[in-house]
A = this chain, B = another copy of it.
Amino acid sequence: MNDCFALRGNLIWSRAPRELAFVPNGYAVCEKGLCVGVFATLPEKYAGIRVEDCGDGLILPGLCDLHLHAPQYPNVGLGYDLELLEWLDKLAFREEARYADLAYAERAYDLFARDLLHSATTRACVFATTHTDATLLLMQKLEKTGLLTYVGRVNMDRNGPERLIEKSAAYAHNETETWIRRSLGEFTLTRPILTPRFAPSCTDALLDALGTLRRRYRLSVQSHLSETRAEVAWVRELFPAQPDYASVYDAFGLFGGETPTVMAHCIYLTEKEKEQIAQRGVFIAHCPASNANISSGIAPVREFLDRGLRVGLGSDVSGGHTLNLLREAALAVSVSKLLWRLQDGVRGPVTVDEALFLATRGGGAFFGKVGAFEPGYAFDAVVFDDVRLETARPLALRERLEKLLYLSDEREVRRKYVEGRRVL
């Protein structure tokens, strides 16, 4: 029973989008990296295992960040008076170009990996840049954190600055394949994921090459979909043969199916695209901070949940300004209320319970059985000490959870476990 232990504390997780489980002073038992269950008292069978006592702390499943751009981390908080396409030019691309310099990448990715480790996030889908070496450097640094991540060397062969775009689809294919092989060989926790930046950055030839690589290596895919109206109109111009934005990815075998695909934003989907997403089992990364910061809009997450689509949260650094996914969850609630109030009027907002679901189990499903303290789920856990948030009166466990969403930051994150390994 050496690889068996229990965390003792106040356990909270989502059983379903609208159903939170609270087990005060309970035991979450881990065996070989998997959760075997949560118990009010430790069963006889586990007598004698190591118990890590988290005192009065709150224990949640590790949070899953489905969308973020590591190289843009220096830009968090900057340039939000611009909109997406101008912001890409003036902020994102300019910053990403710096990663041709490995010394810069070293400094920047050190800070990024440090802060991701200290956040409540245990798993993430991460965009790098078009630079193979800098992407591998980022992967090395993430591997060391012990977090579980997908990292994508970005592909783009048009509509970007000279310094960033790949010379040709053939070059991109070769370079990407080299990177895939190296990363599959070098890393165990840090997996490659195919990453066409977004349709407007890619020629048909590039998308076709990525479809081939996907099939060859059975890789997951991450990209952007329908973030702004201007972008949607642009995609229509660039791909006149395709009926809509989603179909661009789908036409090249980059839209769900055998391996998971995650698409960030999904604000201005057509009815047909929503059906396509449902059919293909594509994950939506909802990024409320980013969507507000660069004036994109509000994704109809209430509707996504009602339709049973697969949705999680993305910090979308640096369109989003924080790696704090609990704050992102609170913001998902807030913007859903504004959408309800300003436009929808009918469906109603997303609740706190649902937002926690999105941040854990909803996004966790992209990684497998992840995001809950239930038998067979990966044992990913975050322990919070919320004493800084104390008030004049004692708080119920549910109240403490609500405060955690709205008020906590990395100061509350005290321990983290990924597949049973303590990483913080």
Q: Which B-chain residue is minimally distant from A404 (CB atoms)?
A: B77
Contact (A333, B80) CB under 8 Å given A295-B341, A298-B342: yes
Q: Which of A293, A351, A389 has the most CB of B within 10 A?
A: A293
The complex places the Cα of A303 from the Cα of B296 at a distance, in Å, of: 20
A196 CB to closest chain B CB, in angstroms? 26
A406 CA to B80 CA in the complex, in Å?
10
Mask of A372-398 contacts with B, CB within 8 angstroms, 1/0: 000000000000000001111100000
Chain B residues whose CB sits within 8 angstroms of the CB of A108 once the complex forms:
391-393
Using an 8 Å CB-CB cutoff, how does the interface string of A390-415 with B read, 1 for contact, 0 for none? 11110000010011011101000000
Which B residues lie within 8 Å of A351 (CB)? Answer: 81
Tell me, rounded to whole Å, the shortest Cβ–Cβ distance linking A136 to chain B. 18
One of B321, B337, B339, B402 near A342 (C-beta < 8 A)? B339
A98 and B393 contacting across the interface, CB-CB below 8 Å:
yes
Which residues of A from 289 to 311 have beta carbons under 8 Å from B? Answer: 292-298
In the bound complex, do residue B340 and residue A295 qualify as a contact, i.e. CB atoms below 8 Å apart?
yes
Residues of B within 8 A of A78 (CB): 399, 402-403
A-B pairs with beta carbons under 8 Å apart, 7 shown: A79-B402, A111-B391, A111-B392, A292-B338, A297-B341, A298-B338, A343-B343
List the 9 shortest-distance A-B pairs measured between CB atoms, nearest first: A108-B392, A77-B406, A74-B391, A295-B337, A77-B403, A292-B334, A107-B392, A321-B406, A342-B342
